[in-house]
Structures are given as structure tokens and as C-alpha cells.
A and B are shown apart, each in its own frame.
Chain A
Amino acid sequence: MSSKKSAPQRPDQTDHLPEQSRQALHGFNKALDDATRMVVKGLGAERWQALTIPLLSILLSLLVISVVILAFGNNPLEVFSSILAGAGWFAKSNYGGGQSQLTDLINLATTLTPLLFAALGVVVALRCGLFNIGIAGQMVLAGFIATVFVGYSGMDALVARPLVLVIGVVVGALAGALIGFLKYRFNIHEVVSSIMLNNIFMYVVAYIIKLNYHDPVSRNMRAASSDARLLTDPVHLGEASARLPVGFLLAVIAAFVLWFFLTKTRQGFEMTAVGKSPKAAQYAGIKIGRTVVFAMALSGAMGGLAGVTHYLASVPSIAPNVLPSVGFDGIAVAFLGNAHPLGAVLAATLIATLSTGATYMSSIVGVRQEIAALITGMILLFTACGGYLKSWLENKKSMIADADRAAADRAAGSKGGDGA
């Protein structure tokens, strides 16, 4: 790096080298300089950095993973393409009965839905400076209550499905608001209370399931009736058929609504102000307590929706004594998406693609499917370096601007000399 920086300014440093290697060094420097300029030009536009920097992070992590896969003796391109095929982005070579590329995509959407809701919950809390690690607990509670009150009731689908969603919102919001209230009223840190509540919800729910709703065959909670589940009746798509996830469209709409809410409304402004500087928010006359409770309620509502779309769509029913990993994956997705609701949509799509495509990849290529988790981890690691990348870009940009200005000055000077 230092050679690149100093060489154009002090060409005399290379005087002692033979002419040939000097030229080679010069050429190398020029190439490096050109490459830097290209990267800066490509990524320098601040408007797009929220998008370009994560993309670069993903690219870098795929490169690193490729090395790992090569070390195992496999072809990384084959691994990546079969993951994409497994998730439905490409056609597989052959399909089982009733399946097609479209059904794979629908499966992806089904898995993606709770993940996206969970990530949105984390994003909302982060905006208000809160870390809602309790999404998993909120999911269990909402899924459980929805299953008990609607899943076994025999209600008609037209009533049952909206009711399940409403229960998800209300139960999740109450559970989230409780965390916000504990923070505001008793100054209990939300991370502590939400971890505790995760366990409390998980074990209380497990206790009641074992008492009343235990299915001796699956050892899980008895499954809800299909009218209550957030999947449509099978839809025929050519030869194949699939149940469409009711919540998917809702999750995407929720992302846009949240983005609008956070950036364009008064309440969103207040939440962001509290998140960035509670003292300044208080000084501005914003009611901190109310804002915190509201943000946690909103975050919890997303958690509740994640719960019902998970337990009443993507998995058959609640497994007692287990917290859903989706609740924690949502945290990673939120960070990968730059704590932005729309970023979460892209990030959730990516992570869901990796996890749903991994099984197929494993069966085709023979690389263990845990590689998907490794890729996710690597992407997160590189994303965490995004801040460094951004400041590196800024520095390079101002350096290039200076160099160009100096060059322009020189050019203008020599022109003036010619004229005289």
C-alpha cells in the first residue's frame, strides 16, 4: 500500500533500480492505481454504498469459501450453483413427483417468511437503540397461543387465518412491550430481560404442551388444523402442486411499511432519535419511556408474526423445550441487511436460499450441508468490516480527487505557458 502511495510522488526512490525493473514497477504501480480507481469509481457513489458494500462483502466471502471448498477437493462453482438450484433459482436436472422449480421457490418463500419477520423485529428495535434478542421467545408464545385458540377450534379458513395473524401481532406486541416496560420502569437491560423471557416462555409453553397438547407420535405439540395453518390449499401448477405461504406477501409489505414508518413519520423520527441519543431525545421533549415501549411492542409484533408464520406454515408444529433458531438467525439477517427494513428483505432472501438449497447441494455435490452455515458466518464477518471499507473508500476518493486536481493544475499551467 505504501509503495503505491509514495511512488507517484517520489519517483526518484526507484532510481537505483535497473531500467527494466523500474519500468515494471512503474507498470505495476499504474495497474494498481487503475484498479484502485476502478473500485473507488464503482463503489464511491455514497447513494449506493448501502447496497454496494454488502455486495462486495458477499463477493469476498464467497471467494474465501471457494478456497475452503477447493481445499476439500470440490468445485466451488458447482457448490454455489447447486445451492441456487436447490432453492429454486435454477432448474434442477430432475424433479420428484409433484415438484418443480416453482414449488422449490414457493418452499423458499415459506422458509423466508418467518426469517424476514424476525429480522424486521430486530431492525425495528435496533433503530430505537434496543437489542431484541427475545424474538425466539415471542415466536414460541405467539405460535403456541395461535395454535391453542385457533388451531384446534375448527374455524373456517377465512376466519381462522386472519385470526392467527392478529394473534401473532397482539401476543408478540404484548411480549415485546413487557420487555420495553421493564427497561423503562425498572431499568432492566433489554438483553437480560429478553433472554430470561425466552426461557420462561419456552418452558411454560413446553409444560402446558406436555400437560394438554402432546402428540405421542411426533413428540411435538399436536398440529393445528389445516384451515388454521398459514398455507393455502394445494394449488396446481402444471404437473406439480404446492401450498402457497399466506404470510410471504405480508412480510414483504411489512418491510416496505416499516421503512416508510421509520424514515417518513413523526413516530419513526422519535424512535430513531431515542436510538441515536436518548439524552438529546429527552432534551427535544420526546417521551423516552413511551417511545421505548412502543418500539419494543412493534418489534415484538414482528416477532409474533415470525412465530405464527414459522409454526403454522414452515414447520408442522411446536417442538417443546426448543427455541426456534429462526429467532436468532433474524439477528444476523438484520445486521447483514444494514439494520434497514429493505436490506433485511435481500439479506433474508440470501440466507434462506443458503439454508434451503444446502440439502440438495449436499446430495448432488457431496459437500456437507453445514458449509451453508459457514458461508453465512463468513458473509457476516465480512459485512462487519463494511465500516472499514467505507472509510477506506472515502480516503481513496479524496486522494484521487487531490491527485486529479493537481494534474489538472499542471495541465492548465503548461497550457498557459504555451500561450505566452
Chain B
Amino acid sequence: MAKQDAGLSQEIILEVRNLTKRFPGIVACDNISLDIRKGEIYALLGENGAGKSTLASMIFGLYQPDEGQIYIRGQAVSIDSPNEAVALDIGMVHQHFKLVSNYTVAENIILGDEPRKKALGLFPYVDIKSAEARIEQLSRDYGLEVDPRAVIHDLGVSTQQRVEILKMLYRDAEILIFDEPTAMLTPQEIESLLQIIKNLRDQGKTVIFITHKLDEVMEVCDRCAILVRGKLVDISNTADTSPRELASKMVGRDIEFSAKRPTKGMGDTILEVEGLRVEDANGFPKVNDVSFKVHAGEIFAVAGVSGSGQTELADAIAGLAKTKKGDIKLKGHSLSKMNVRKRSEDGIAYIPEDRQSVGLVLDFCLDQNLALKSYYRKPYCKTSLLKPVAFSEHAKGLIDDFDIRCARGPKTITREMSGGNQQKAIVGREIDQGADLLIFVQPTRGLDIGAIMAIRERILDERDKGKAVLLISLELDEVMDLADTIGVMYAGQMLKVAAAADLSMNQVGEFMMGVTGNE
């Protein structure tokens, strides 16, 4: 109730009426109508491919609706480009930031809208000083803590995001669109971002918040619209609803939240990493003296903030990154002389972090991608000749098994599938190999809750079948939910390894930030 009183006016600032957008083979937004009040935080909630981003992109002028009308402050408008959106006081923070990395914060913010002055009334120059002063002022007003003179590539992800927010504020945006803003952040960073969003609301800004994370919706949003496969199914006041209710509306069925299930008992050591060191191209250690063991029937989860060396660790085990020092053993024998394919045949399945450029050949058909690790073996290939029937039979099996949604079955071009279904394809392919060790890196990133639960269930199933699982995740919830053993990485080192039962979420969070003092 207090929320309602805190200056939430009844003035409708943005209204969309019967908005429809079609892409070849799919209706991304189907006859969507909603109105957003000035000064509220409005969530667009939905699974992957539900049409949230498409809707926001139409409001920001990136796409033009096929049908329907957008009204800003009661005026019918046609927003043909982001420039027009900015002119209408709309701003957007994209999931992937659009910043020039070797420019300063201030330079990035004024780019395209530079304050000009003329020295001696004659020679034009960009007045960076006044811009910096104004940015500093805005940064103070909204509690953003950004130094306008810092260079972008020196800044962390969350600070870069705040630069994007400043960019909107600098252009006097009134309607601020955030597209999945928490996807790349650590729990602590998410906390402070949500605080910033609340500040923005309290200062009278209107926020459109695109997400599939229910807890965030419950924490900051006033109202939320739920989209399912392009259709608007419900608009709720968050005060009058529960996460469970939202979740079931979002996926159209009831959801079991916690998947926690303890191990049935650990077996032999499957993976043993000893004193591993991996360097980047400049000789800087990305993984430094890391040792641990993963047993059969165990989920070993690696927690850590982004860039702590987890990706390099996984790449080194799979053979994609060079081991500089130390050794990696699978089932007791060293992998050091084995290439990627030998390791895969030896029993390593790997779900990489970057599914689009590493895990899949996007221009291949789904059936080719599903056989990407086995295309050269029988039954897919005999005496160098490919057997298309084997490809599509195998694909059909996995499509059913993993509920991969694809418009044209095995022959669907993978690029045309949604991110969630691409991920399901990779997970299906890797689990299908029957490997002894499964490396999952960010297996549920960017997926909707239905798909997340399905994949987590699969991970637990594999563990229960006696596989060793190395799970690398930036989502602390996921680590806590699934792990039997937790290892925390910080700056390339394995700071702490302990049984999951012995660590609290807060303790893990502290190790993730490199705090070790209070043991």
C-alpha cells in the first residue's frame, strides 16, 4: 500500500494498443495492449521467446509494429528509429551494452549528442567539462557512483551498466527500458541495481523492466504483464500475487521451486585437477594453481563472479585451452597428450558458456548440430560418407526427449531457434553422449523458469546415474540448489572447497568477493 501512495500517479505515460509483430514463421507479439503509469516500475515477464524483448524493441523504435498503435502521454506516435524514441524521452539499456571501450564514461555518454562551444566565438570544440559536471551531478542525484573520467574498459560490468543508465538520464529520458539487466551481475550487484531502479522510480521516472526472474519482479516492480508465446495472458499488481502464482501463469502449469536432492553417495574419483595453471595470450594467469577432485555421483559446483577463471578452467579440461602447468586426470590417467576429440571420446561432455559461437554452428540444421560431436562415427558416417537418415533419426529422438521446440523438426536452421531451445539442444547432445564427466558452464543462463527446472532435473538425474558433474555457474541460487560440493573461485584461484552442507549462501558470497579473513 505504501508503494501506491509513494507518488504513483494515475497518469498514463505509455500506452500500446493491439500491437502485433510478425517474423517469418512466428508471431512474436500478438495483439498486445497495455498501459503504463507515470512513475511505476512495470515488469514484462515471460519465458524465452515470449515476445518481451520484441515488445520493448517496438517501443524503442528498433522494430516497427505490423499492426497496432503506440501512444505516449496520450499522443499517437510512430516510432521509426531509436532516435525518435530518444526524442520522445524513451531510453533503453540493452542486455549487451553499447559502449566504446576505449572512450571515457563522459565521452560515451555524450556520443551523438555532444555539447558544442566555440572558442573565441570561432573554433568549435566539444565542451567535455560541462558534460562531465552534469554527469557527476546526475550520478550523485541517482546514487550511481560513476566517475565520468574513467575509461570504459577499466570498469566492471555493473559500472558499465550504470553508464548506460546515465546515458539515458543525460538525454532526459522519462521512460527507461531495462532488457534483462541482471543477467550478467553477481548477487551483490543485482541488489544495488535494484536499489538504483527504485531510486529512479522515486524521482519520478517510469521503468519498464524485462526479466524472467520472479524474485526481482516481486522485489521492485509495481505491476507486471505476463507474456506467453507472444500473447498477453495477465497483468497483476505484484502486491496482490505470489511468485508461485506468477510462475504458473508464466509457464501455464505449477512449478516445483527447489530441486534440492542430496547425492546418493559418491563413487570413484573421475576428474582430478592438480596444480592447474592456464594463461591468457599475454601470459597472465587466468587459472592459478587450482586443484580439486570430482567423484562419480557428485555435483561439484564452482561459484565465483564472472571472469574469475571458471571458463578457462572448463576449457582446459575439455582441451580447448592450453595447460601451462599442472595436470588433469580423467579416471586416473592424464589427459595432457589428448586433443579435444580424444578427450570427448574418453568421456568428457562439455556444455560451453558461449552457446551461440562455441556450442553450435548456427547456420547448420538442428540435426547436424545434434551430431556435432559424433558425426564422424557410425551410424552417422560410414567410410567417410554421411548418412542423413541417421542424423535425422537421432535428432528426432533428442527433440522429443528434451522438448526442443523447432519449427521444421531436424531440418530447422539452428539460428532460427530461440536461445532457450538452442541451449536445450546442446544439453541434449552432451548428455546423450553418455560421458563419465559432464561439464556444465552456465547451463541455465538466459533460460525461462520452465526450461531451467527441466535442465536442473536433468543434471540431478545424470548425477544419480553415477556421473561426475562439474557445474560452473554465476547464479548463486543454482550453485546452492544443486551442489554436493562447492568450490569458490576468486581471481583464478580456488579459494575454498567444502561440502555444500557446510557453507551458507552468505559465506559463499563472501568467498566470491575474495573475503577470507573471518573463517
Chain A residues proximal to chain B, CB less than 8 Å: 9, 264-267, 269, 272-273, 276-277, 279-287, 391, 394-395, 397-399, 402
Report A209 CB to chain B, min CB distance, Å: 42
Interfacial chain B residues near A272, Cβ < 8 Å: 364
A391 to B23 Cα, complex, angstroms: 10
Interface size on B, residues (CB 8 A): 31
Interfacial chain A residues near B325, Cβ < 8 Å: none
What are 16 contact pairs spanning A and B, CB under 8 A?
A: A265-B384, A266-B386, A269-B368, A277-B361, A280-B357, A280-B358, A283-B320, A283-B359, A284-B375, A285-B339, A285-B341, A391-B24, A395-B22, A398-B22, A398-B24, A402-B22
| CB nearest to B376 among chain A residues | A266
A281 to B373 Cα, complex, angstroms: 10
B1-42, CB under 8 A of A: which get 1 and which 0? Answer: 000000000000000000000111100000000000000000
Chain B residues proximal to chain A, CB less than 8 Å: 22-25, 67, 318, 320, 339-341, 344, 350, 352, 354, 357-364, 368, 372-373, 375-376, 381, 384-386
A264 adjacent to B386 (CB under 8 Å): yes
Interfacial chain A residues near B386, Cβ < 8 Å: 264-266, 269
A81 to B350 Cα, complex, angstroms: 61
A276 adjacent to B22 (CB under 8 Å): no
A279 to B320 Cα, complex, angstroms: 10
A394 adjacent to B368 (CB under 8 Å): no
| CB nearest to B24 among chain A residues | A394
Task: Kindly list 5 other residue pairs between chains A and B, CB separation below 8 angstroms, not including A283-B320, A285-B373, A391-B24.
Answer: A276-B361, A276-B363, A282-B340, A283-B372, A284-B373
A398 to B352 Cα, complex, angstroms: 35
B67 adjacent to A9 (CB under 8 Å): yes
A44 to B471 Cα, complex, angstroms: 46
B384 adjacent to A279 (CB under 8 Å): no
A284-B373, A285-B344 known; A266 vs B381 contact (CB < 8 Å): yes
A276 adjacent to B364 (CB under 8 Å): yes
Please report whether the interface of chain A is mostly helix, strand, loop or mixed according to DSSP: helix
Q: Which among B24, B25, B354 has the greatest number of chain A C-beta atoms within 10 A?
A: B24
B24 adjacent to A395 (CB under 8 Å): yes
B361 adjacent to A273 (CB under 8 Å): yes
Report B65 CB to chain A, min CB distance, Å: 12
A285 adjacent to B340 (CB under 8 Å): yes
B384 adjacent to A267 (CB under 8 Å): yes
| CB nearest to A394 among chain B residues | B24
A399 to B372 Cα, complex, angstroms: 35
A391 to B409 Cα, complex, angstroms: 21
B373 adjacent to A282 (CB under 8 Å): no
Partner of B357, one of A265, A266, A279, A394: A279
Report B27 CB to chain A, min CB distance, Å: 8
A349 to B364 Cα, complex, angstroms: 30
- 4 interchain residue pairs of minimum CB distance: A285-B341, A394-B24, A285-B340, A284-B372
Report A120 CB to chain B, min CB distance, Å: 20
Report A4 CB to chain B, min CB distance, Å: 13
Partner of A283, one of B22, B340, B362: B340
| CB nearest to A273 among chain B residues | B361
A286 to B364 Cα, complex, angstroms: 15
A266-B375, A267-B384, A398-B22 known; A283 vs B364 contact (CB < 8 Å): no
A276 adjacent to B375 (CB under 8 Å): no
A227 to B308 Cα, complex, angstroms: 70
Interfacial chain A residues near B357, Cβ < 8 Å: 277, 279-280
A283 to B384 Cα, complex, angstroms: 20
B24 adjacent to A276 (CB under 8 Å): no
A397 to B25 Cα, complex, angstroms: 9
Interfacial chain B residues near A397, Cβ < 8 Å: 24
